[in-house]
Amino acid sequence: MDTAHERISCREKIGYSLGDLGGNMAFQMMMIYQLKFYTDVFGLEGALAGTVLFLAPLLTAFVDPLVGIITDRTRTRWGMYRPWVLWTALPFCLFYVLAFYNPGIESKALVALYATISYVLLLSVYSFNNTPYSSLGGVITGDTKERTSITSIRFVASTVAQFIVQGLTLPLVDHFGQGNAQRGWTMTVVLFGLVAVACFVVTFLSTRERISPPPQQQSDIREDVATTFGNKAWRTMFTLTLLLFITLAMFGSSVNYYFQNYLDTASLSAFLNDVGFHATTANAYSFGFSLFNTLNAVVQLLGVLLLSGYLSERLGKKTTYLVCLSLTTVLTALHFVPSPHDVATIYALGMLKSLAYAPTVPLMWVMVADVADYVEYQSRRRATGFCFSGIVFALKMGLGLGGALTGMLLSAFGYIPGDVAAQPASAVVGIRLAVSLVPALLFGLATLTIAFYPITTTVNKQMQHDLDERRNAIAD
């Protein structure tokens, strides 16, 4: 039986997708709230907080290739990648909590050191969890349509995590904290961490690996490095991922400051009341920011469900990416235009941006899985874990650089941590740039990058046909 093209049950697809829900319980928090937590809870100056976010991925750079090498050589009765999702579940929860816990240190230097160490631990365990998880998606099936279906369902789950984290974090912090911000953050992150553990266990129990390296392949780390790094498709996806996550981290972290420091509180409160929500000037920021994130998550979910498969089937993955990322670039830049009173316009731009970007969300990881096939197709060597590990490193580095650039931009324009009333006009300009023109420029560079991706629809069909023939010949 050709197990590489076996039809995958809905149960297994949903089970696999929950792993991404679990991972995004931490990733969304890192992308949206890590910088804000460091500046306004830890009290770190923006440039110092940005330095922490920049240094941590650099200090864990060796972890990602190590994870790829180890997981590609893991042999258990559960498979190569699947067991790691289970083994890392509890450490993931522990280090996630530590990264958002303030031990009460007074010295800013020691606070920065604690923040760096705890963030390094979180990023390290994230690599040991997410690289095998992503690699698992590349070996469940070799069928292109099934792979797209699996990844689309995966990103429905990630959008649910986005909805939970971006929409509920601030209300939960207020609920659990009752005026004590640190207690509120700790309890909220503990809750999210336990949800993540449950998701990882379900993923382990419900999935199965069906694609293995060619049986004649000898273990050779240097060959794995050479064939992966030397592949044009892999280099394109590495660059694309780096640029995308710098951009997403910049927008995600700066829009928080944008709501708190740029929008007119009375206008935001009036808008919320006009659309049927009871809001006051006291809770307008937390309520309005949560609603903004919730609406964007819902729109993105609809975009993933309704547009991603439809567009990729008709236009191909590469063309879909080019078109959608171009629209996203324009809509991101437009966030610089509205005045502090144009609240409805800001919400509309956010939802349009989410809709434009939505079709690309599941396609990225489908394309990385295609790259693992492409490396095997060209070199007759398969190193799925190593291939995905480099992309996860680009994701983490992008996350760190995006947060660092935002923090440094805030400092350069004079942002004062935790003091909304005292913000100079220059700081507000910096916030507006960080949420619009600067990430738009990076989105534009990402759009240019995808033009160099060599795996077109025609190439992919020929590649899958030839790989099937090779595997069937070995099986016979």
Residue range 324-376, pLDDT digits in tens = 999 999 999 999 999 999 999 999 999 999 999 999 888 887 888 888 888 88
Residue 434, pLDDT score: 93
Residue 337, pLDDT score: 95
| pLDDT confidence bin for 2, thresholds 50/70/90 | low
Q: Tell me the two tokens of residue 235.
A: 């280099």
pLDDT tens digits for range 123-146: 999 999 998 998 898 788 877 778
Q: What is the mean pLDDT of residues 180-185?
A: 87
Q: What is the mean pLDDT of residues 441-459?
A: 92
Q: Tell me the two tokens of residue 114.
A: 């604690």
Give the other-Cβ count within 10 Å of 145's Cβ: 12
Residue 220, pLDDT score: 65
Q: What is the mean pLDDT of residues 296-306?
A: 87
| pLDDT confidence bin for 3, thresholds 50/70/90 | low
Classify 101 as helix, strand or coil: coil
Exposed/middle/buried for residue 188 (C-beta within 10 Å: 0-12, 13-18, 19+): buried
pLDDT tens digits for range 247-264: 998 998 899 889 988 999
Alpha helices in 41-107 (DSSP H): 46-59, 63-72, 82-87, 89-99
Residue 284, pLDDT score: 86
Determine which of 56-70, 244-258, 313-327 has the lowest per-residue pLDDT on average: 56-70
Q: Tell me the two tokens of residue 15.
A: 């089970």
DSSP 218: P
Residue 152, pLDDT score: 77
Comparing 365 with 428, the larger pLDDT belongs to: 428
Classify 44 as helix, strand or coil: coil
Residue 444, pLDDT score: 95
| pLDDT confidence bin for 312, thresholds 50/70/90 | confident
Residue 218: pLDDT over 70:
no
Residue 13, pLDDT score: 93
| pLDDT confidence bin for 4, thresholds 50/70/90 | low
Q: What is the mean pLDDT of residues 163-190?
A: 89
- The pLDDT mean for the chain works out to 87
Q: What is the mean pLDDT of residues 96-111?
A: 88
203's CB contacts (< 8 A; 6+ apart) are 15, 16, 18, 19, 22, 82, 85, 133, 136
Q: What is the mean pLDDT of residues 315-329?
A: 93
Euclidean distance between the first and final Cα of the chain, in Å? 11
Asked whether the CA dihedral 107, 111, 116, 117 is positive or negative, the reply is positive
- Are 439 and 250 spatial neighbours (Cβ–Cβ below 8 Å)? yes
- Are 231 and 375 spatial neighbours (Cβ–Cβ below 8 Å)? yes
Residue 88: pLDDT over 70:
yes
Comparing 217 with 378, the larger pLDDT belongs to: 378
Determine which of 27-31, 224-228, 325-329, 395-399 has the lowest per-residue pLDDT on average: 224-228
Residue 98: pLDDT over 90:
yes
Helix (H) or strand (E) holding 202: helix 181-206
Give the percent of the chain with pLDDT over 70.
Answer: 96
- Are 213 and 47 spatial neighbours (Cβ–Cβ below 8 Å)? no
Residue 253, pLDDT score: 86
144, 283, 302 from 347: Cα distances, Å: 36, 17, 17
Residue 376, pLDDT score: 82
Classify 10 as helix, strand or coil: helix
Of 432, 434, 438, residue with least CA distance to 338: 432
Residue 150, pLDDT score: 85
Comparing 309 with 27, the larger pLDDT belongs to: 27
Residue 1: pLDDT over 50:
no
